[in-house]
């Protein structure tokens, strides 16, 4: 006998008082029956009518959109982007909030994650509670910083470029992305059709005039002749090997930070905000205060951003080891740092490569792990190396807080923490924590 289907609650509407912000770009609310709602497009303290977008009678919580604002927060503004709102583009979470309020909300999320997962107050983490805007991003309400130097467009069945809707594969066709950097917007990707393409990544390097598009064709589709409004190199994703192949132009873009130029190939990782790389290098170096002759690790090193900054500061008698899993990123890092004979870059996962190096002590460590964090075993290994300072660069406050708890278990405490709003209009935030051994 088959079980009866669980009744869906999608489309159900409730009138609720909105509670605190939560990690992920939404706020918490409860129905009169006590059901927990994760509500987007609202702000703490508002009274709103919400419509459920995910969940059924058995769900621990429901996801919902605020579809009518009954009592608005003083921090609310009209969303500048016509594609922001319930059922539309999922790229921005806080278009409806004043810029200062966005940073406060991000600060509240960081504080909540630190307390819940690491048992730390802001004071215990050496953090003043503020989230700093990037240089040039402090704009009045209604104005949007054009910061996104890399935009991943999805393409619908008719060949129109757009962006994914929230938690969906559906495409919101757009004619302009307000947070896209000028170098991306001027390519004119939204103005033409892309028959046979599944997605297009547009890259506008902030350290040079380099422009690049990476095309992912649908199975069996032929590559179109790419004619955009500005000169651009073209790459494609192979249907079988999923590797990046050059079609024409350079296979890399040139970025710049800390008075060095970095080659970034195959659409490899580089900070998306044009001020991010420089902001983070300065925060890390100010926290570590490298000395001549010291040894350092740069883990998850990408194309060598922090390794280069460390090498420059520890000098000819110092040494830096970088570890990175991506093959092309390792090639780029070795190219970028070829003038530093005391820098070595190893390819592989940190948790497998680091033990094989035989390194038992080091002065400084920088780690910039992926969104999931470094994890318990890696943190334990790092703590055995006796570094006088560790810089942890984090794009996810929950992963950061979990790893800080692991560091605390292994004898390291947070000395300072700084937070930067390098993803305006979204819920994402970047943090730099400096750790030192407990005396």
H-run or E-run covering 379: helix 376-383
Crossing angle (nearest 10°) for helices 397-409 and 99-113: 30
Cβ contact 218:198 at 8 Å: yes
Distance CA 348, CA 323 (A): 7
Query: Where do the DSSP E strands lie in 23-122?
Result: 26-30, 36-40, 47-54, 62-71
**Residues near 216 by Cβ (< 8 Å), separated by ≥ 6?**
197, 198, 199, 200, 236, 237
Distance CA 392, CA 299 (A): 10
Q: Is 177 a catalytic residue?
A: no
Cβ contact 134:147 at 8 Å: yes
**Residues near 425 by Cβ (< 8 Å), separated by ≥ 6?**
92, 93, 94, 95, 102, 144, 179
Structure tokens at 239: 């249907």
Rg over alpha carbons for the chain, rounded to the nearest Å, is 23
Cβ contact 425:288 at 8 Å: no
User: Which residue reads 């709103």 in tokens?
Assistant: 48
**Residues near 430 by Cβ (< 8 Å), separated by ≥ 6?**
276, 280, 393, 394, 395, 419, 420, 422, 423
DSSP letters along 356-378, please? HTT----SEEEE---TT-S-HHH
What is the SS3 assignment for 245? strand
Catalytic residue among 27, 177, 395, 431: 395
Distance CA 6, CA 73 (A): 36
Sign of CA dihedral 35, 38, 41, 45: positive
Sign of CA dihedral 339, 341, 343, 344: positive
Structure tokens at 188: 């004119």
- Beta partners for residue 387, in sequence order: none
As annotated, the active-site residues are 395
């Amino acid at each position: 006998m088959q079980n009866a289907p669980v009744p869906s609650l999608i489309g159900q509407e409730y009138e609720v008082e909105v509670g605190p912000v939560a990690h992920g770009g939404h706020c918490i609310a409860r129905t009169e029956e006590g059901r927990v709602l994760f509500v987007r497009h609202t702000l703490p303290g508002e009274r709103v009518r919400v419509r459920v977008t995910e969940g059924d009678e058995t769900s621990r919580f429901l996801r919902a959109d605020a579809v009518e604002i009954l009592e608005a927060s003083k921090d609310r503004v009209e969303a500048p982007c016509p594609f922001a709102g319930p059922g539309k583009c999922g790229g921005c979470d806080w278009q409806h909030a004043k810029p200062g309020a966005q940073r406060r909300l991000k600060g509240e999320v960081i504080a909540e994650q630190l307390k819940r997962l690491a048992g730390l107050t802001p004071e215990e983490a050496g953090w003043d509670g503020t989230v700093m805007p990037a240089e040039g991003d402090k704009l009045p309400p209604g104005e949007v910083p054009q910061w996104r130097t890399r935009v991943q467009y999805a393409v619908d069945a008719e060949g129109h470029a757009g962006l994914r809707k929230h938690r969906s594969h559906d495409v919101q066709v757009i004619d302009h992305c307000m947070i896209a950097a000028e170098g991306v917007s001027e390519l004119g990707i939204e103005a033409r059709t892309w028959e046979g393409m599944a997605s297009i990544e547009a890259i506008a390097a902030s350290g040079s005039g380099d422009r690049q598009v990476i095309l992912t064709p649908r199975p069996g589709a032929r590559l179109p002749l790419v004619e955009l409004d500005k000169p651009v190199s073209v790459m494609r994703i192979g249907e079988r090997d999923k590797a990046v192949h050059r079609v024409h132009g350079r296979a890399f873009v040139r970025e710049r930070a800390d008075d060095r130029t970095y080659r970034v190939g195959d659409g490899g990782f580089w900070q998306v905000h044009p001020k991010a790389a420089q902001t983070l290098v300065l925060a890390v170096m100010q926290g570590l205060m490298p000395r001549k002759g010291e040894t350092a690790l740069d883990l998850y090193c990408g194309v060598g951003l922090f390794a280069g900054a460390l090498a420059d500061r520890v000098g000819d008698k110092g040494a830096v080891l970088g570890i990175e899993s991506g093959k092309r990123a390792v090639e780029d890092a070795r190219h970028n740092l070829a003038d530093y004979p005391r820098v070595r870059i190893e390819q592989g996962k940190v948790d497998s490569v680091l033990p094989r190096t035989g390194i038992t002590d080091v002065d400084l460590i920088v780690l910039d792990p992926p969104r999931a964090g470094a994890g318990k075993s890696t943190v334990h290994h790092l703590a055995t190396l006796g570094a006088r300072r560790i810089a942890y660069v984090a794009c996810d406050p929950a992963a950061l807080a979990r790893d800080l708890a692991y560091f605390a278990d292994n004898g390291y405490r947070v000395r300072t923490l700084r937070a930067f709003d390098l993803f305006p209009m979204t819920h994402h935030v970047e943090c730099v924590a400096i750790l030192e051994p407990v005396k």
